[in-house]
Structure 1
Amino acid sequence: MKKISFLLVLFVAMLATSAQSQTKFENWPALGTFHDVISATFHPSEKGNFDPIKQRSGELADKAVALSKSVVPAQYNKPEVKAAVKELVTKTNDLNQLVIKRAKDEKLNKSLISVHDAFHKIVGLCTDEKDHH
């Protein structure tokens, strides 16, 4: 019974986290658009498939630039978020250059992990903000 309760609590916690992310992406559509591309390229790489990132690295870099030019929702508009977005733009450009130069998968993987981490840094900074209204 305890195991079922634990799993239920874990499932509810995952739903709550997913709902928070969903709201974040609704509030900031450019972040959601970037998320769509990073998900479609990062998760296959975890299984050793680098074709998606090789095909979409330019798109990923473009989405990062679009994110940097988008209107940041007021609740996330703080220097740390802007700095993290700027870092994301740099890292996606670096990754795209590696793809263009046909770098080995190991190098692509390191760079893609770095991009993924930079994205999650932005999401984390946006999650810490509590609504005080």
Structure 2
Amino acid sequence: MKKYFFALMLLGLAQLSFAQKGTGWDELDAYHTVMAATFHPAEEGNLKPLMERAGELAEKAKTLKASAIPEKYQKEGVKTSIKLLAKESKAMVKYVKTKPSDADLTKSITALHDRFHQVMEECMH
């Protein structure tokens, strides 16, 4: 249990460092900027930024997927999770258009945010 807690702490600190300094991967940082601007308001119950910027989120994910992975992030799983991030970001655009309930939309952006964190975790290992 202590090892799990320590690993989570390290992941959180590394992500905070990425958020403050950037990763050095412009396309990943650009996606992160839009993700933060949509997810964090959703956590507070404000889904308007997500509804307005879902297309931008998908476009940034598409650009990220097409970008060259910097050498320091060429690790197992990164490419696959980025493909999934792009696919799920694109699906978010379609989902938003169906006008789901606030609870369902919050659940979806949370899942997409989790996928983004998977990418970040794989980049760090």
Normalised by the length of structure 1, the TM-score is: 0.78
Trace 1:16-35 onto structure 2 (pairs within 5 A): 17=14, 18-22=16-20, 25-35=22-32
Is 1:126 matched up with 2:123? yes
Task: Show structure 1 runs of 4+ deviating over 2 A.
Answer: 16-23
Whose radius of gyration is greater, 1 or 2? 1
Indicate which of 46, 67, 86 corresponds to 2:83.
86
Structure 1 104/88 Cα, relative in aligned 2: closer, same or farther at 3 Å? same
Partner of 2:48: 51
CA displacement, residues 37-78 of structure 1 (integer Å, 9 cap, x when unaligned): 000000000111100000000000000000000110012123
1:75 pairs with 2:72 = yes
TM-score by length of 2: 0.82
Residues matched between the structures, number: 115
Percent identity between matched residues is 35
In angstroms, what is the RMSD of aligned CA positions? 2.1
Aligned pairs (5 A) from 1:61-72: 61-72=58-69
Over residues 6-52 of structure 1, what are the superposed CA-to-partner deviations in whole Å (9 max), with x where a residue is unaligned? xxxxxxx89x63335555x3421100000000000000001111000
User: Is 1:91–1:114's contact at 8 Å kept on the other side of the alignment?
Assistant: no
Long gaps (5+) in structure 1:
1-12, 129-133
Q: 1:20 to 1:111 in 2, by over 3 A?
A: closer
